[in-house]
Amino acid sequence: MQIKPREIAKLLIPPLLARSYHHLTRKKGNNSHSVEKLYLDGDYPSWDKAMAASTGYDSEIILEKTKVALLKVKNGEAVYERDSVLFDQIQYAWPVLAGLMWSAASNGGNLNVLDFGGSLGSTYFQNRRFFAGLESVRWNIVEQVRQVETGKRWFQDDHLKFYPSIQACLADTKPQVILLSSVLQYLEKPYEIFAELLKTPCKHLIIDRTPFWSGPSDRLCVQHVPPSIYPASYPSWIFSQTKFYAWLSKDWQVMVTFDNPDRLAGPIEFSYQGLILVRKNHLS
């Protein structure tokens, strides 16, 4: 299946909103649906049913907040942005950075990333001081149209690029590593993205901030954002770890897994995890 440019907006708007408030959700336990917390509920039989139980969202406010915060980071007025919020210290996702540097090391010190759903470059700016010693860096973000327009106007340079589709990115460059951070759970058909990404020349795959549980099948929920933050709700998967890994194992070898500190209340016990993988035909 080929994902068309016009479908990118539908695919990526929910991750934009979710990324913007995950830092407020690190509350242990799965039964407290506090109005001040994000939470997941339900067990929906189809995406249409989950959509019908959702209120929707408006990404423009989040986009503007993210733009303003990241411009301060870009211009040296702030140290670090995550989820549109500014921090005095950088909060590194060390396993993700390790995976990126491992990929660069295997490519002669050159790093070329396809960041699917990467907002306006949060992960790039988070780690750019470590990239300074590499031979070359190119960070390609595939996002919804409004994100791409904003990214090109305010952030694009020799290293950071923005594209409305995977195909548009591949027409311009050959990335070596794919980054999927807090995005797969918000896609109607998440496994189809693997088929699309398999067509890329990428040797490595990094997945982060993705919810898993121990059950035999994926669970479709609705994720709720409290009105005190931003009134919205939208479908979100909790993946069966067994099913997810079995799907990946067709083409990818898991090199390492790691836990993520993000926490959401939900109808079942689950946790956010990450993986670093290598394409099987590139194993040595």
What is the DSSP secondary-structure string of the chain?
-PPPHHHHHHHHHHHHHHHTTGGG-----SS---TTS-EEE---SSHHHHHHT--B---HHHHHHHHHHHHHHHTTS-SEEETTEEESS----HHHHHHHHHHHHTTTTEEEEEEET-TTTHHHHHHHHHHTTSSEEEEEEE--HHHHHHHHHHT--SSEEEESSHHHHHTT---SEEEEES-GGG-SSHHHHHHHHTTS---EEEEEEEEEESSSS-EEEEEEE-TTT--EEEEEEEEEHHHHHHHHTTTEEEEEEEE-----B-SS--EEEEEEEEEGGG--
Confidence of residue 27 (pLDDT cuts 50, 70, 90): very low
- Give the residue extent of every domain in the chain: 5-25+39-282
Q: Which CATH architecture has domain 5-25+39-282?
A: 3-Layer(aba) Sandwich (3.40)
Segment 232-260 shows an average pLDDT of 94
pLDDT tens digits for range 134-171: 999 999 999 999 999 999 999 999 999 999 999 999 99
163 against 260, higher pLDDT: 163
Segment 125-130 shows an average pLDDT of 92
* Whether pLDDT at 3 is above 80: no
pLDDT tens digits for range 109-123: 999 999 999 999 989
Segment 234-242 shows an average pLDDT of 96
Confidence of residue 29 (pLDDT cuts 50, 70, 90): very low
